[in-house]
């Protein structure tokens, strides 16, 4: 197959690659699949669980999500604007927040029972001992970058060595960006306080690349807005060699304890939404564009963000690999404790215990998918070691030019269907 033909085929598949298709129709347990690959029929939660939620005052069940957080926002918006949860017997409400700490406060008060947060806000929940468990990973390896003005002579972080006076970097203090930047600075020999100083700056201000800053360190979609939409800046460094970033999709522990079928329905709906987005990325972007918190984002930007942070990796990116993420996130806890920003030391085991993979395992069982041994961005021959920086190359938003092929040999345990095509295990 020529390069041009291959690209045409990929485009026809709407940014979702496949391997191993065969002509025979797939039949799931119960009878068939939706066009986007969810097995039929839907399983409904019990009346007992509905009654319990009502007694708790958690009816409708409330989901808290973050507007300016690519990948994560798409999942929640699609869940809110389709009937995937209703078909499982749940009445729900979705509330958008501007940041992770805002979601945390709503979860802590009990106003929100299903939340979304990045690794830093979630660390705060663990530190405070709030009873939540992550069911899935969202937006793994969301790009964070150091962005300098387009006409800046800077080409890399190392170019900031010896700056006199120290170069000012606009950054959200206490965020995954600050962690990334400090890890990168240490790796390249850049001294914070001597070569550079960090100035607390919200993304809304970073976007303008204000006078007096040598660079800013935002995450997506702000990176793309500055560099591609406004064409005002250029990336001189990215997070990928220094930190595996992840967001969490989580529920309050009481739901798991008292109404586990509700937790299962949420896990199933999460995965169904992920598949729907793979089939309909443009429609997903239209849904995002209608959200008040995202009204200033261009549709082309939203489409690109969906394709990059929802559809680039295999759909198994969301599986909660507790050991992997626990070891990586423990680096964050040590960094925060060294700076007296959390109350107690947290270990890799603390982070691992904050996941509950039983529900996603069951979801995969329904789909006929193999439980992956590792996240899809970790190559089988990857020579890296958690915490040993810089990390060797791995597939990410910069290196992947096309979606990962799905499904491949070993990805399925039985026949599965998507967009009218059937795939053998």
* Coil/strand/helix, residue 327: helix
The label of the residue with tokens 């006409």 reads 151
Same domain, 306 and 190: no
User: In CATH, what number is assigned to the domain containing residue 149?
Assistant: 3.40.190.10
Q: How are the residues of the chain apportioned to helix, strand and coil, as percentages rounded to the nearest 5? A: 40, 15, 45
Distance CA 171, CA 187 (A): 18
Same domain, 173 and 289: no
Same domain, 22 and 55: yes
Q: Report the candidate in 301, 175, 294 with the shortest Cα–Cα distance to residue 231.
A: 301
Element (H, E) at 65: strand 61-66
Residue 21 is predicted with a pLDDT of: 38
Residue 30 is predicted with a pLDDT of: 52
**In the predicted model, what is the mean pLDDT of residues 382-386?**
96
Same domain, 78 and 225: no
The set of long-range contacts for 407-411, using a CB threshold of 8 Å and a minimum separation of 24, is 407/18, 407/19, 407/20, 407/314, 407/369, 408/19, 408/20, 409/19, 409/20, 410/370, 411/314, 411/316, 411/369, 411/370
> What are phi and psi for residue 127, nearest 5 degrees?
-60, -35
Element (H, E) at 277: helix 260-279
Residue 2 is predicted with a pLDDT of: 43
Same domain, 135 and 149: no
Distance CA 199, CA 173 (A): 8
Q: How many domains does the chain have?
A: 2
pLDDT tens digits for range 111-160: 999 999 999 999 999 999 999 999 999 999 999 999 999 999 999 999 99
CA distances from 250 to 21, 77, 93, 254 (A): 34, 16, 16, 12
* Percentage, residues of the chain above pLDDT 70: 93
The mean pLDDT value of the chain amounts to: 92
Please, what is the Cα angle at 392 between 391 and 394, to 5 degrees? Answer: 105
Does the pLDDT at position 373 exceed 80? yes
Element (H, E) at 167: strand 167-171
Same domain, 324 and 381: yes
Same domain, 335 and 211: no
Same domain, 162 and 233: yes
**In the predicted model, what is the mean pLDDT of residues 302-320?**
97
Same domain, 127 and 157: no
pLDDT tens digits for range 316-364: 999 999 999 999 999 999 999 999 999 999 999 999 999 999 999 999 9
Last residue of a domain, one of 238, 261, 278: 238
Last residue of a domain, one of 197, 213, 238: 238
Distance CA 130, CA 344 (A): 14
Same domain, 254 and 392: yes
pLDDT tier at 295 (50, 70, 90 boundaries)? confident
Element (H, E) at 235: strand 233-238
> What are phi and psi for residue 115, nearest 5 degrees?
-125, 170
Please report, to the nearest 10 degrees, the dihedral formed by the alpha carbons of residues 267, 268, 274, 277 taken in order: -140
Q: Which residues contact 89 (CB under 8 A, 6 or more apart)?
A: 44, 45, 50, 265
Last residue of a domain, one of 221, 238, 255: 238
**In the predicted model, what is the mean pLDDT of residues 218-222?**
95
Same domain, 44 and 98: yes
Please report, to the nearest 10 degrees, the dihedral formed by the alpha carbons of residues 94, 99, 100, 106 taken in order: -50
Same domain, 89 and 101: yes
Domain span at 332: 3-142+245-423
pLDDT tens digits for range 38-85: 999 999 999 999 999 999 999 999 999 999 899 999 999 999 999 999
């Amino acid at each position: 197959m020529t390069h041009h033909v291959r690209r045409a085929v990929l485009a026809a598949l709407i940014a979702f690659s496949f391997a191993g298709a065969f002509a025979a129709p797939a039949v799931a347990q119960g009878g068939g699949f939706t066009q986007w690959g969810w097995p039929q029929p839907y399983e409904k939660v019990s009346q007992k669980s509905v009654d319990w939620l009502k007694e708790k005052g958690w009816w409708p069940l409330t989901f808290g999500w973050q507007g300016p957080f690519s990948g994560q926002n798409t999942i929640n918006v699609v869940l809110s604007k389709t009937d995937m949860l209703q078909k499982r017997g749940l009445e729900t409400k979705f509330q958008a927040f501007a940041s992770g700490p805002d979601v945390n406060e709503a979860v802590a008060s009990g106003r929100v029972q299903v939340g979304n947060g990045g690794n830093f806000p979630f660390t705060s929940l663990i530190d405070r001992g709030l009873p939540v468990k992550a069911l899935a990973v969202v937006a793994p390896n969301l790009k964070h970058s150091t962005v300098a003005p387009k006409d800046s002579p800077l080409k890399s972080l190392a170019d900031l060595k010896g700056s006199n006076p120290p170069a000012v970097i606009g950054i959200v203090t206490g965020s995954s960006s600050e962690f990334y930047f400090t890890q990168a600075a240490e790796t390249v020999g850049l001294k914070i306080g001597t070569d550079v100083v960090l100035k607390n700056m919200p993304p809304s201000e970073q976007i303008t690349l204000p006078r007096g800053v040598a660079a800013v360190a935002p995450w997506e979609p702000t990176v793309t807005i500055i560099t591609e939409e406004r064409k005002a800046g250029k990336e001189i460094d990215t997070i990928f060699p220094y930190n595996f970033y992840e967001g969490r999709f989580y529920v309050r522990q009481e739901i798991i304890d008292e109404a586990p079928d509700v937790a299962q329905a949420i896990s199933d709906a999460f995965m169904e939404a992920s598949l729907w987005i793979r089939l309909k990325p443009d429609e997903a972007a239209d849904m995002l564009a209608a959200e008040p918190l995202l009204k200033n984002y261009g549709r082309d930007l939203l489409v690109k963000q969906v394709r990059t942070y929802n559809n680039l990796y295999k759909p198994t990116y969301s599986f909660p690999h507790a050991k992997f993420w626990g070891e990586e996130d423990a680096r964050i806890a040590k960094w925060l404790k060294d700076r007296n920003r959390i109350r107690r030391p947290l270990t890799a085991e603390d982070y691992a215990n904050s996941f509950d993979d039983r529900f996603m395992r069951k979801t995969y069982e329904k789909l006929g998918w193999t439980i992956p041994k590792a996240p899809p961005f970790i190559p089988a021959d990857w020579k890296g070691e958690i915490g040993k920086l810089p990390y060797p190359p791995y597939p990410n938003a910069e290196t992947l030019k096309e979606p990962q092929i799905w499904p491949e040999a070993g990805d399925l345990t039985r026949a599965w269907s998507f967009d009218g095509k059937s795939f053998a295990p």
